Amino acid sequence: MWGSTLNGIHVQGNYFSQNARLPRSPFHSTCPDQIMINRTHLWKMELPRYMFSGRCVGKKNFGSYVVRRISGRCQCFLASDPPTSCLVQPRKLNNLSISDGQCQLLKYRLAIRTHADFKSEQYDITGSPMESLPMESLDSSEVLSEPALLKKDVQDMPNWWEQFPKRWVIVLLCFTSFLLCNMDRVNMSIAILPMSAEFNWNPATVGLIQSSFFWGYLLTQILGGIWADKIGGKLVLGFGVVWWSAATVLTPIAAKIGLPFLLIMRAFMGIGEGVAMPAMNNILSRWIPVSERSRSLAFVYSGMYLGSVIGLAFSPILIHKFGWPSVFFAFGSLGSIWFALWQGKAYSTPKEDPGLRADEKALILNSNVSKDPVSTIPWKLILSKAPVWALIISHFCHNWGTFILLTWMPTYYNQVLKFNLTESGLLCVLPWLTMAVFANIGGWIADTLVSKGLSITTVRKIMQSIGFLGPAFFLTQLSRVRTPALAVLCMVCSQGTDAFSQSGLYSNHQDIGPRYAGVLLGLSNTAGVLAGVFGTAATGYILQRGSWDDVFKVSVALYIVGTLVWNLFSTGEKILE
């Protein structure tokens, strides 16, 4: 026999016993003292989503007892005894998890699993009045005997992939799109070497080709944000991936036709990739609850870092075996596979998804997410807010240092640390890997701090301060280290701490204005791209007249400015309705 005491309700049945301690609920004093499972009258008894812990004592081989720890949420099916008594209002606990290190009888395990894995629509009934449910109102489909109930629910238990949160399917697809984004972007940095040899391009022409990507990239930052906020992120991100994938595939053809066509194709590629970040920010602002915001964004942005690693690692292999055009054909064709999955699985908002479970939809819509599309953009209101300018200025300061390190790092390794080109290429992968790891660590830390009651404003300031002051500290150490190994370590640590920015300023667009998340990202990232363009050019100018220490001093100064502006003017509260 088993029994359970839940807020004054005692339940009896077969196979196991459990004692669970729950917080006091509105039903504590109004629930009947005893409710018995029988073979004729069964119904759902649901409780609010309280967490609880307890012990489960089971009988093995009708002799020895084993003790289990239980934590989580579950749903119970109960019936009244005597049958004439009133039923309690539906209440629920969901997702009970049982840690069992010992093998038990199959019958015992099925009973535990059946009682633990029921799923149903969530209700938030805290503070609601007690209502009675008359016995006659029970649907006949709910009146089952206990053996039938066990058999039915064990058979109908969904597979794990059917229970996987749909919002994280959206996150995974966004992650993959960003993976492809940087794979298609960095392949030119490798392919440009055999291309320049084949077409006799001088360094000035190579620089023009590399910069042509940013012509289109700058053009669609704000436009992509406006488009996404008005018509939805699914269409805009899908357009972006198809557009830049087509441009990638057509790059070898354009190069063989002539330089002007190649420049246009690279600019077209920038147009496609320019809408990616605003569109992603828009769709996640509608799908992801505040409690998961930091780690979801950090995970998506880590796709960019891993895309760079994959692109830098596989491009030389493909070029060596199949020639430089193969890089563009292979990487670009992957976009069609992604687009097919995106069209079948993604929706701009939870309301548009017909297959979304009711409990997940309620969780998303009850959180602080953006729900309504935007008809007009209140530019005057947006640009009048100090936190918006804190985002823009901080994004500029952040990207100045980041773009310099990532663009000029191979040169620094080769000229200062005296690594050969092969070693420099391999070492350039390390910062990307480090950023991918630390971005996700920072995301989990930020969401954990929020869940423990720390304000979003405080969390964003902490994470972004690490993202600014960490790189600033490690860059100042480069002039003091005496070995190449320590210099590489400083560079890697600089980029690793930089990745905490994904849980700082990169998450803040959705905090202050979830309805305008795409536009806000477009505004701040425009400043960030300009910082990358100007910073990369300024570094070459500084190196002609100064040293690498001077380059790093400028970056450190901007990191400090960004820290001050961020901590003085940023906020984690919603300021744009």
> Rounded to 10 degrees, what is the CA torsion of 7, 10, 15, 17?
50
Mean pLDDT of the chain: 75
- Residues 224-278 pLDDT 10s: 999 998 888 999 999 999 999 999 999 999 999 999 999 999 999 999 999 999 9
Whether the pLDDT of residue 577 is over 50: the answer is: yes
Confidence at residue 212, expressed as pLDDT on a 0 to 100 scale: 87
Confidence at residue 159, expressed as pLDDT on a 0 to 100 scale: 63
Confidence at residue 533, expressed as pLDDT on a 0 to 100 scale: 83
Q: Of 112, 20, 16, 99, whose CA–CA distance to 59 is shortest?
A: 16
Confidence at residue 370, expressed as pLDDT on a 0 to 100 scale: 61
Confidence at residue 186, expressed as pLDDT on a 0 to 100 scale: 86
Residue 160 φ/ψ region, left for φ over 0, alpha for ψ in the -120 to 50 degree band, beta for the rest: alpha
Inter-axis angle of helices 456-476 and 505-512, nearest 10: 160
Amino acid at 71: S
Query: Does 179 or 422 have the greater pLDDT score?
Result: 179
- Residues 426-451 pLDDT 10s: 777 888 899 999 999 999 999 999 98
The percent of residues above 90 in pLDDT, for the chain, comes to 40
Whether the pLDDT of residue 556 is over 50: the answer is: yes
Residue 134 φ/ψ region, left for φ over 0, alpha for ψ in the -120 to 50 degree band, beta for the rest: beta
Provide the pairing of β-strand 34-36 with 43-45.
unpaired
| Alpha carbon separation from 71 to 55, 58, 140, 150, 165 (Å, rounded) | 9, 16, 32, 21, 20
Q: Of 538, 564, 568, 534, whose CA–CA distance to 553 is shortest?
A: 538
| Alpha carbon separation from 344 to 337, 341, 355, 441 (Å, rounded) | 11, 5, 11, 31
Interval 202-221 mean pLDDT? 85
Asked if 494 contacts 531 with a C-beta cutoff of 8 angstroms, the reply is no
Alpha helices in 31-76 (DSSP H): none
Enumerate long-range contacts of 534-542, CB under 8 Å, 24 or more apart: 534/400, 535/399, 535/400, 535/401, 535/403, 535/404, 536/403, 536/404, 536/407, 536/408, 539/404, 539/407, 539/408
Whether the pLDDT of residue 118 is over 90: the answer is: no
**Whole-angstrom distance between the N-terminal and C-terminal Cα of the chain?**
55
Q: Which residues touch 106 (CB under 8 Å, ≥6 apart)?
A: none
pLDDT band at 570 (very low <50, low <70, confident <90, very high): very high
Containing H/E element for 9? strand 9-13
Asked if 404 contacts 555 with a C-beta cutoff of 8 angstroms, the reply is yes
Query: Does 33 or 433 have the greater pLDDT score?
Result: 433
Query: Does 180 or 23 have the greater pLDDT score?
Result: 180
Confidence at residue 468, expressed as pLDDT on a 0 to 100 scale: 96
The per-residue DSSP string of 133-173 comes to: B-GGGS-GGG---HHHHHHHHHHHPPPHHHHS-HHHHHHHH
Confidence at residue 45, expressed as pLDDT on a 0 to 100 scale: 36
The percent of residues above 70 in pLDDT, for the chain, comes to 70
pLDDT band at 162 (very low <50, low <70, confident <90, very high): low
Interval 4-30 mean pLDDT? 33
Confidence at residue 238, expressed as pLDDT on a 0 to 100 scale: 96
Q: Which residues touch 397 (CB under 8 Å, ≥6 apart)?
A: 468, 531, 558, 559, 561, 562, 565
Amino acid at 542: I
Q: What are phi and psi of 409, to 5 degrees?
A: -60, -45
Whether the pLDDT of residue 471 is over 90: the answer is: yes
Asked if 353 contacts 360 with a C-beta cutoff of 8 angstroms, the reply is no
pLDDT band at 483 (very low <50, low <70, confident <90, very high): confident
Peptide linkage before 82 cis (omega within 30 of 0): yes
Whether the pLDDT of residue 106 is over 80: the answer is: no
Interval 554-571 mean pLDDT? 96
Q: What is the pTM of this model?
A: 0.68
Beta strand extents in 61-204 (DSSP E only): 64-72, 76-78, 96-99
What is the residue whose two structure tokens read 């940087």? 182
Domain architecture of the chain: domains with CATH? 2-156 (no CATH), 167-375 (1.20.1250.20), 377-577 (1.20.1250.20)
Confidence at residue 368, expressed as pLDDT on a 0 to 100 scale: 61
Interval 385-404 mean pLDDT? 93
Amino acid at 475: L
Whether the pLDDT of residue 294 is over 50: the answer is: yes
Whether the pLDDT of residue 396 is over 80: the answer is: yes
- Residues 85-96 pLDDT 10s: 333 333 333 333
Highest mean pLDDT among 36-45, 145-154, 318-327: 318-327
Interval 175-202 mean pLDDT? 90
Containing H/E element for 36? strand 34-36
Amino acid at 260: P
pLDDT band at 177 (very low <50, low <70, confident <90, very high): very high
Q: What are phi and psi of 91, to 5 degrees?
A: -140, 155
